[in-house]
Amino acid sequence: MPLKPLQMSDAPKGPGDDASVLTKTRTQTARPPMYKVLLLNDDYTPMEFVVHVLERFFGLSHAQSFEIMLTVHKKGLAVVGVFSFEVAETKVAQVMDFARRHQHPLQCTMEKD
């Protein structure tokens, strides 16, 4: 006797074999909070040193660094960049360590964006 092809209507029925669609709930991952890195003005750190710090630790061009340095000088502080907590913390530590090693009182801080 020849076998006939199996049709969907011929498939065995079991529990949960109804035609409803199962949906899976996906949890959405929240973005981590971001932190602003700020440079603060003081009366002793040379402007050239600040420009050098911005170029070295933040990868800014000379023109960008000069603009931020002038903002720090005129307004008392400036946002240098916005980063994840770990990156911001590392950049603050690098800048502070570099300034201390060169005997400058330059202050760098971070705050939640």
pLDDT digits (tens, 9 = 90+) for 77-112: 999 999 999 999 999 999 999 999 999 999 999 999
3-state helix, strand, coil in the chain (%, to 5): 40, 20, 40
pLDDT digits (tens, 9 = 90+) for 26-78: 788 899 999 999 999 999 999 999 999 999 999 999 999 999 999 999 999 99
The H-or-E segment that residue 111 falls in is strand 107-112
Buried b or exposed e, range 85-102, using 16+ CB within 10 angstroms: eeebeebbeebeebbeee
